Structure 1
Amino acid sequence: MVEILHKDLSYGINGILFQVHNSLGRFCKHNQYGDALEVLLKENNIKYKREIEIPIYFKEIKLTGNILDFLIEDAVVLDIKCKKEITTKDYVQMKRYLKATGKELGIIVNFADKSLKIVRILDKK
């Protein structure tokens, strides 16, 4: 049987994502979805960090440019999208975030589609 990584936390996050989408619909801005998510994460006592920079290093030189939308419970990287569809570029971006943070689970959510799109990305060590 396949074990789901961070099963309970993932289930809770998905529920919050659906609440936001059901309430706001698909035509809001990125930061509006982020603000709504933040409200619900607080209400559900879920610990998170928002819009944090995660550097990578090359020959002891700090390279910047990776900004996470959310790091939830120091376990799940959440990336918000508001566009026609999730692309390979989004997948590659999440893999970069997971590698930079050392986390194993990333969730990409696209609010702009008619139905909410949630994609789980794993980076098993």
Structure 2
Amino acid sequence: MHQLKHDEITRQIIGCAMKVHSTLGNGFQEKIYQRALELEMASAGLVFEREMDMPIYYMNQQIGERRVDFFVEGLVMVELKAIILLEDVHLAQAINYLEAYNMEVGLLINFGSKSLTFKRLLNKKFKPN
């Protein structure tokens, strides 16, 4: 069995998200889930930054910024949604963020459907520093 990169951290994050979803259910705004997940991850002992502004570069010029929901343990980018259905465009967007920040692993978590849905993302263009 191929060992997934940062598997233990992503498992912990998903576990926290499942607790949040089973407690709150669906139907709230993204902000509510973000705050609940922040509390849940903190109580699980995960180290993270919330809503961190990250610069976006194009041809070595900073052309803007994007706020990421969470960076966990400096290794995993977490993007939250509260929508009925995750679509390819949301997946593509999250992968773009991973590439823009040169993060190797990400999670896209959706609290908006009846059961929690999530996608594990891998940046194929990742360059170790």
TM range (shorter): over 0.9
Pairing 1:84-123 to 2, within 5 Å after superposition? 84-123=84-123
Letter in 2 for 1:39: L
Q: Which residue of 2 aligns with 1:64?
A: 64
Q: Distance in 2 between matches of 1:21 and 1:62?
A: 37
The unaligned stretches of length 5 or more in structure 2 are none
Normalised to the residue count of structure 1, the TM-score between the two structures is 0.93
Aligned-CA RMSD value: 1.2
Q: Which residue of 2 aligns with 1:13?
A: 13
- Structure 1 outlier segments of 4+, above 4 Å: none
Number of residues of Structure 1 aligned to a counterpart in Structure 2: 125
Q: Which residue of 1 aligns with 2:83?
A: 83
What's the offset of the Cα at 1:75? 0.7
**Share of identical aligned residues, percent?**
29
What's the offset of the Cα at 1:98? 0.7
Q: Distance in 2 between matches of 1:52 and 1:40?
A: 18
The unaligned stretches of length 5 or more in structure 1 are none
Q: Distance in 2 between matches of 1:60 and 1:73?
A: 27
Letter in 2 for 1:68: V
Gap change, CA 1:100 and 1:50, over 3 Å in 2? same
Q: Which residue of 2 aligns with 1:46?
A: 46
Letter in 2 for 1:79: E
What's the offset of the Cα at 1:58? 2.5
- SS across alignment from 1:66: strand
Verify the 8 A CA contact 2:57 2:100 in the aligned structure 1.
no
More off after superposition, 57-66 vs 12-21: 57-66
Normalised to the residue count of structure 2, the TM-score between the two structures is 0.90
